[in-house]
Structure 1
Amino acid sequence: MKSFERKQHILDLTKKHTFILISDLIRDLHSSESTIRRDIEELVSKNLVIRSQGAVIWNDKSNLYKENVYFRTEQNLLTKTKITKTASELIEPREMIFIDTGTTMLELAKNLSEDCNLSVVTNDLKIALELENKYNVTTIMLGGIVKRGTHTTIENTGTEFLNNVCFQKAFFSPAGISDEGFYFLNLQAMDIRKKIAEKSEKMIMVADSAKFDKKATVLGFPFSECDILVTDTCSQEWKDKISPSTHIIIAQ
């Protein structure tokens, strides 16, 4: 396939699907990685597409906000599935739990057993839609303004409801874990997270090991406030840094 044909094919695919992985382009076009990346660089230079850490996005203003959500959905999917399966096993029947926003938390929602007869509160639209299909799960969606590109409600209108409930467990997925504690991306959502943490018997962090030694927008919680950390691996150095009151579970 000639260069102009490859580039047109890349444009056609990204316009059709909005988002496509570079690895898929290499496979579909039967070309080397270096060749595909050169084609992408030329398209980027002409502002026709956006390159984002292993992916290409059609350069349309209405699609720009989708970049972060789509890419995070693809990252470490197998690991997320493993750690969220382990986290789901911590849930007991008839509990009321909170599930925070994010792609890891969406995987947790998918792993919830339909036999648990749970009540689940969330502020994530995609998680609420996922749970809607689970017969024995009562889903409570916190109201608020929908933050574009995150599928999350912020400036929450559900604070009066939160004043009258207690959670057995609250599940969060930090964007980074650094020496100071757990970091999150969404500053606007931190007030509601802190309110929920206060109303929960146990706070459970679910994070793959790629989050260690990373910071994000805002420091959310110190290690001492976390009861359980579920991850795929944790070095002795990090075990020593994390509060001794935090039980670390390694998913198998």
Structure 2
Amino acid sequence: METKQKERIRRLTELLKKTDRIHLKDAARMLEVSVMTIRRDFSQEDEPLPLALLGGYIVMVNKPAAPATSQPVAAATRRHHRDDMPIAILAAGLVSENDLVFFDNGPEMPLVIDMIPDEITFTGICYSHQVFMALNAKPNATAMLCGGTYRAKSDAFYDPNNPSILDSLNPRKVFISASGVHEHYGVTWFNLDDLPVKRKAMEHGIRKILLARYALFDEVAPASIAPLAQFDVLISDRPLPAEYAIHCRNGSVKAITPDSEGE
């Protein structure tokens, strides 16, 4: 029988097949244990491990290079910022068994889905082709694609003039990407075409979760999504600037970063 220690090592190994390294605090949050527990896992293991602790990061030992033809085309074309990994790990940790989750068209969304443990059964709603492909790759995920006209520039489907599956569904979690977060202008996005779907998802969603890199604070994009106070949770890769931390507290928005306390 697999011990809890070996299960944690196995899950970390699976995660590191998708990325080069994981911060120790991010790994602890994903596994729902303390940092000291993970450190003990590494120090008490008698057999050689496929992983190693280097400073504050966990890395794969002698990670093999993947053959050029082994990666699906959809996965190979995904692009995300280097600061998206801690956000993706924190966001994935919020997805629970049997959740109904909306994922918008942000570039980090396929990475969020990749970080959700394969054993979790959930349903994902999306309108992005890349997000749909990421959901299809999860063994216990059901993918629901909002139909419409495909636009290659956005790699997404749009149909603003007809009913949407979101009209009759209430996602338990709604993940929304931002291009900018500003105290006065609120949460903004670069693509006007995405606004109707983002707003509809927020209207029907139970828990609205904003994903925003630290570098995007004080930035303003052309399309306004909503005031920051309309979100329940804000996830970022670093502790928020002081004025935004105060803004979140005043608006009852829970801020989650790699250095914050667990949920």
Identify the TM-score tier after normalising by the shorter chain: 0.5 to 0.7
Distance 1:157 1:122, change over 3 A: farther
- Of 206, 216, 239, which residue of structure 1 is paired with 2:211? 206
- Of 77, 88, 112, which residue of structure 2 is paired with 1:108? 112
Residue 241 of structure 1 pairs with residue 247 of structure 2: yes
**Corresponding residue of 1:223:** 228
Q: Is the 8 A contact 2:233 2:255 kept in 1?
A: yes
The higher radius of gyration belongs to: 1
Q: Which has the higher helix share?
A: 1
Return the alpha-carbon distance in structure 1 between the equivalents of residues 150 and 164 of structure 2: 19
1:142 partner letter:
C
Alignment of 1:14-33 (within 5 A): none
Q: Is the 8 A contact 1:173 1:207 kept in 2?
A: yes
Q: Is the 8 A contact 2:146 2:164 kept in 1?
A: no
Secondary structure (helix, strand or coil) at the match of 1:103 reads coil
1:213-243, CA deviations, whole angstroms, 9 ceiling, x for partnerless residues? Answer: 1111211110121000000121212212335
Residue 121 of structure 1 pairs with residue 128 of structure 2: no
Q: Is the 8 A contact 1:100 1:172 kept in 2?
A: yes
1:191-225, CA deviations, whole angstroms, 9 ceiling, x for partnerless residues? Answer: 12111111111000111101111111211110121
Residue 250 of structure 1 pairs with residue 257 of structure 2: yes
Return the alpha-carbon distance in structure 2 between the equivalents of residues 133 and 168 of structure 1: 21
Return the alpha-carbon distance in structure 2 between the equivalents of residues 113 and 197 of structure 1: 25
1:207 partner letter:
A
Which consecutive residues of structure 2, in runs of 5 or more, have no partner in the other structure?
1-76
Q: Give the alignment's Cα RMSD to 1 decimal.
A: 1.8
**Corresponding residue of 1:52:** none
Alignment of 1:1-252 (within 5 A): 73=79, 76-77=81-82, 79-156=83-160, 159-179=163-183, 180-233=185-238, 234-242=240-248, 243-252=250-259
1:160-213, CA deviations, whole angstroms, 9 ceiling, x for partnerless residues? Answer: 422221110000110111122110112122112111111111000111101111
Scaled by the length of structure 1, the TM-score of the pair is: 0.67
Scaled by the length of structure 2, the TM-score of the pair is: 0.64
1:119-138, CA deviations, whole angstroms, 9 ceiling, x for partnerless residues? Answer: 00001101111211111000
Aligned pair count reads 180
Return the alpha-carbon distance in structure 2 between the equivalents of residues 163 and 99 of structure 1: 16
Return the alpha-carbon distance in structure 2 between the equivalents of residues 109 and 236 of structure 1: 30
Secondary structure (helix, strand or coil) at the match of 1:87 reads helix
Which consecutive residues of structure 1, in runs of 5 or more, have no partner in the other structure?
1-69
